[in-house]
Amino acid sequence: MGLKGAETRDRLLDATQELIETGGYPGAGLNQVIAASGAPRGSVYFHFPGGKDQLVGESVRRAGRAIGGDLEELAESSASAAEFIGAVLRHLGERLEESDWRKGCPVATVALETASTNNPLREACSEVYTSWEGALRARLAGRPDADDLAVTVLALVEGALLLARTHRSREPLDRVARQIGALIG
């Protein structure tokens, strides 16, 4: 694929991510993606022959890798697991607030809307969550409860993002950060 093709593909993925984060799976119709990306209609099926589900699945995975990269950077710059989780929640809170409370988790909305009806998208969401659990588990390494704690922390973070977005406030994120700090000491 040439540079122009790669740029078009990236624009389609960027537009899809924006649309699913702000409007969920139904808000990322192909017409909306084409309009938001400025890409020619034929390029959607050229780059994503599986259609909308392939486009959304790849967008979810791509967004998951980006946040996974953020997790790695925050883990490297944090002195403790509690400091790491606090930094993650601050980072996600900043992202949410900067988007005017429109962008919570790039995976959660798709997972909630499609997990029971669309196996390929459920698998994409599961892959991302599994990778994030792995990043958390790695930072909690050495603890006998690292596996359970990684899932617990991820669930608390996801819930805090939902509440913060709903309340348009970072307070749920701050409260969860304090409780996770106490939990993992």
Domain chopping of the chain, boundaries? 3-184
Whole-angstrom CA distances from 115 to 122, 124, 130, 151, 152 are: 5, 10, 15, 18, 20
pLDDT in tens, 84-115: 999 999 999 999 999 999 988 889 999 999 99
92 and 161 Cβ atoms separated by less than 8 Å: yes
Homologous superfamily assigned to 3-184: Tetracycline Repressor, domain 2 (1.10.357.10)
User: What pLDDT is stored for residue 1 in this prediction?
Assistant: 62
Q: What is the pTM of this model?
A: 0.91
Residue 127 confidence (pLDDT) above 80: yes
Read off the pLDDT of each residue in 141-157 and give the average, rounded to a whole number.
Answer: 94
Indicate the pLDDT class of residue 141, thresholds 50, 70 and 90.
Answer: confident
**Average pLDDT of every residue of the chain:** 93
| Tokens coding 6 | 């790669």
Determine the pLDDT at residue 152. Answer: 96
Tell me: pLDDT of 2 over 80.
no
How many percent of the chain have pLDDT more than 70?
99
Q: Would you state the pLDDT for residue 120?
A: 95
Q: Which tens digits make up the pLDDT trace of 33-53?
A: 999 999 998 999 999 999 999
